[in-house]
Amino acid sequence: MAETERWLVVGLGNPGPKYAGNRHNIGFMVVEALAERRRDRWKAHKVHAEVAESRVAGTPAVLAKPRSYMNLSGGPVTGLSRFYKVPMERIVVVHDDMDIAFGAVKLKRGGGSGGHNGLRSITASLSGPDYLRVRVGVGRPPGRMDPAAYVLKDFSSAERKDLPLEVERAADAVEALIGEGLERAQNVFHTAS
């Protein structure tokens, strides 16, 4: 693989300490774990994001955390894609997914937003849905709780015990996706869930 074939790995979340432990911020947690593996440093980027230039599975990659709010993630993602000249097929978006149980990780290319406003913003901004997704399960809200309120709540104390392991597992899924391709990564992570 040529050195110029850089990937863009974007973790979705909301900026600021108020949101740091929210279910909606698991994408941030995963890209932070990837950066920590190589002790990469985060820096501010002009497109309203924090970035860490890294290597994932031995391949050049830019890890990113948009500093816009979740619903406006598309602008920073498109800006980074253009700045680093990364085509849609090498963009990976890591995000929370209520349709997957806590602890499960699923990978796919393309598809709808499933009601996720961050994905909706990215798809609109990129003019298409064909980027890769690492979907990290956060489970369904209990009872009649509003889904929007649920994703803005912190993980439960029981979930927090397992959260570091789940974040590392999702980071492993990103590495497998980039290093081995979508189908092989799906075979590993979908059967393990």
Q: What is the mean pLDDT of residues 36-56?
A: 96
Question: Residue ranges of the alpha helices (H) in the chain?
Answer: 26-37, 74-83, 117-126, 147-151, 157-180, 182-192
Condensed to tens digits (0 to 9), the pLDDT of residues 154-165 reads 999 999 999 999
| Range in 1-10, 117-126, 142-151 the model is least confident about | 1-10
As a whole number, the mean pLDDT across the chain is 95
**95 classed as catalytic:** no
Condensed to tens digits (0 to 9), the pLDDT of residues 166-193 reads 999 999 999 999 999 999 999 999 876 5
Among residues 24, 45, 95, 116, which one is catalytic?
A: 24
Q: What is the mean pLDDT of residues 62-73?
A: 96
pLDDT recorded at residue 2: 45
